[in-house]
Structure 1
């Protein structure tokens, strides 16, 4: 037994706690990453030591997030590594395509079991008019993300777009890389594997960019998203007991929350990777600036939308088989994208509505072009409609059920009184200020964001440290009692 409090705390730091998975925005992770980076900076020039060290830490990080289910990740890494060697076009086997299909099914089987078993049983029970007891199935964090990564790797190797990785440790490093392991971005092997064998050179601007991304992510997630989430949770807990105006504010609050939460994680993941000498792809580009739903999906969760395009939409036929089939392929792709987000019909509905939105936008754009309208005149209207279409559908994303979602929408549609604005400002001034700040940060132009990052990089070390201390103090000032998990961990 460990009787000393210090030893007990250290032992607890290395143990898995189902109720408190390791999160980027926790003090525990800050301590662990600081210790990790201190050793990493001593060995990063030696490729074998670097890969082994990061691989070991990544598996430990995932163990701290999902416990024994780290073995699920290990199994997929080993199987897909050897499978890819066999799938290479150099292996001219007549049944390569069949084996690719079987391997994809094998990879998806883990995701289907952990994420969709109870959903399937619930629907069977409903159709059979019987009551099936739900299974106690733990959902490993990030399983949706690394499953898509392994599938894209196998498909790319099969098509000859990349050569199979010849080192199991390198492939394990790619699949388990901890900054993006549990909530993306979804990284393609062709973009990441070459970086493993490159010499790492740390530049001042790169380190400055990494620290700025981490700082930006902390502000988004731990300060803004966590604070506005308290109001969204309150309203969506019982939307019928609140006015239409309060439900409207909850819609805006959650629209901000899910952006700051998810993009905040992506920012931190990109920043942590930069501090280690690796580059991850952008995952968000000011999505609420979009003038159409098509543009929105080019800016929101970019790694997922491009994955769906490249591995589902285009293989089905894309826009190569006529306009009618294009709409069908588009709808099927968005339905799959919606179902990927969660094992519930409301996510399928969410995906279907986005698919319908993409269809309507394409028809509308063609009609406007044929009629010769000046699109510049319509830009404010385009933005307003797109933003509120997206925001309204987030209600289904957030609500616990269709009943709750439609109740909130009904309140907004029929019981909104703008006279509530002044009392709302008086009683919830801090919330309103946080929402204004959050949306203002989002709507800053990309060029201005780049200038801010460049300026931050030029600051002295003490100034950077002072800014971090200030941000942490603000987070402590506004935080809730517990460290809040990232929304997309459930996906």
Structure 2
């Protein structure tokens, strides 16, 4: 079920009414309704996927209970590895089986041996990368005694399957989200209104920015040999805002929807395109995944405490694994490695934490130094996104060669240029709102609090009108494929 669909427009009010008017007197009923609604929401794509999430829930719940009574260190470690093997085993099979098989066949062929093996027609379960990491964080935290294991199976099921963030995050930690299922929620008008405001901004990002940018990004990337270097750069720029509008828009809708039901999810995007270096970009982009890898992979590997060789090794591991998490394609691995190369000079010079806090805090405009840093970081990010979007590595290299050709400074020639200009203006509106609200949780949060009620309503109605006037062709959220 897509957030930007009629199905969800009917589903959400129905669940909201049942939740606050029929289940509001019982914590168990509230949690049970969330589980039922979440399974319905998830099963809307394919009911067969439900068996995986239910099995994962049972396994990690049972392991958590076992860890609560087991004191033997070897047995505790055994339970932890059971959870890791089961969860990553499912993820590896559904997401990476054919990738490894195809590359194994290619490797044997390279050495003159034909390996006869057949690929499987495997359907990737929606959101498996997200809820797998979410349940793993629970088991690991329980194992490390950072979290008391729950014995409330319904609450745990609701935590694993919570429908607003089930299929594309944010990846919530059990330490933050699970305790919220232990106490009955009470309706708060201000929290619900703020949730609706964030949903509105998320919908603007998705259906206006991302879906319109997708039309041009697809055209340029699918027919890259037909366009000039300036046109291809424009196509990369459109994809840059497509993926931001798509994924941060999803996160805004998920966080806003959660607030309607009395839950607080962690911020997932903090205006990453205003970053002054790559290190800051990765502290602001997909924060729930970045911090997950930091806490459960980078730090256990030694982080940046060891010598230079260990720092370099750990940096490449974290970025390459992060890239591979996104998909079974060499393009994602190259994308991760490229970001590691971007990050490395900052790490070696010990400047990876030099840009902390809000850029140009308290000022309307940044200084020249910050502006140059932001432009440089943004350009490097755009180049990296080419690998993320390309069909394969050769496609990405060919696309980049096209950008940096003699036609780089020419005027782009393509169809629907008028509409492209409209989309660029809308992107400018997005960045203007987010720049003014860059010290908040989401851009639109800054607007309307102290305004006259009439002006506030008119402003929000204006955003709604823009959504209906410039709604693009319906596209699935990009991160559903991950």
Per the normalisation by structure 2, the TM-score is 0.89
Change (3 A) 1:323 1:215: same
In 2, Cα distance between the equivalents of 1:453 and 1:476?
21
Per-residue deviation at 1:334?
1.0
Count of residue pairs the alignment pairs up: 464
Find out whether 1:337 has 2:322 as its counterpart.
Answer: yes
Deviation at 1:436, TM superposition (A): 2.4
Indicate which of 223, 238, 245 corresponds to 1:260. Answer: 245
Task: For 2:120 and 2:300, locate their aligned partners in 1 and report how far apart those are by CA, in whole Å.
Answer: 35
Question: Where does the alignment leave 5 or more consecutive residues of structure 1 unmatched?
Answer: 1-21, 370-375
State whether residues 195 and 278 of structure 1, in contact with CA within 8 Å, keep that contact through their aligned partners in structure 2.
yes
The residue aligned with 1:64 is: 44
* Pair 1:335–1:417, CA change in 2 (3 A): closer
Shift of 1:433: 1.9
- Aligned partner of 1:141 among 114, 126, 134: 126
Identify the residue that residue 394 of structure 2 maps to in structure 1.
403
Q: Paired residue for 2:383, among 382, 392, 395?
A: 392
Q: Which residue of 2 aligns with 1:104?
A: 84
Q: Aligned in 2, Cα 1:355/1:60: closer, same or farther, shift over 3 Å?
A: same
Deviation digits for residues 295-320 of structure 1, max 9, x if unmatched?
11110000000000000001111123
Matches within 5 A, 1:70-469: 70-88=50-68, 91-129=71-109, 130=114, 132-364=117-349, 378-420=369-411, 428-447=420-439, 452-453=444-445, 455-456=447-448
Mind listing any 5+ residue stretches in structure 2 that lack a counterpart?
355-366
RMSD of aligned C-alpha atoms? 2.7
443-452 vs 261-270, which moves further: 443-452
How far the C-alpha of 1:79 sits from its partner, in A, is: 0.9
| Partner in structure 1 of residue 359 of structure 2 | none
In structure 1, the residue matched to 2:5 is 26
| Structure 1 residues 241 and 88: CA distance shift in structure 2, 3 A | same
* 3-state SS of 2:74 partner: coil
Corresponding residue number in structure 2 for 1:45: 25
| Displacement of 1:383 | 1.8
SS across alignment from 1:392 = helix
Instruction: Say which is worse superposed, 251-260 or 403-412, in terms of deviation.
Output: 403-412
Deviation of 1:36 after TM superposition, in Å, equals: 1.1
Question: Is the 1:89–1:158 Cα contact (8 Å) retained in structure 2?
Answer: no
CA shift, 1:146, in A, is 0.5
**In the superposition, relative to structure 1, how do residues 444 and 408 fare at CA in structure 2: closer, same or farther (>3 Å)?**
farther
Look up the match of 1:373.
none
User: Which residue of structure 2 aligns with residue 7 of structure 1?
Assistant: none
Greater CA drift, 288-297 or 423-432 = 423-432
Q: Match of 1:484, SS?
A: coil
CA distance in 1, matches of 2:443, 2:54: 41
Q: Could you tell me how far apart the structure 1 residues matched to 2:391 and 2:432 are?
A: 29
Deviations 1:445-478 (A, max 9, x none): 4247779536546789999887776655544443
Q: CA 1:418/1:377 → structure 2, altered by over 3 Å: closer, same or farther? A: closer
Mean Cα displacement is larger for which, 111-120 or 376-385?
Answer: 376-385
Deviation at 1:134, TM superposition (A): 2.8
Against the structure 1 CA distance between its residues 134 and 216, is the aligned structure 2 distance closer, same or farther, given a 3 Å change threshold?
same
Which protein is richer in helix relative to its size? 1
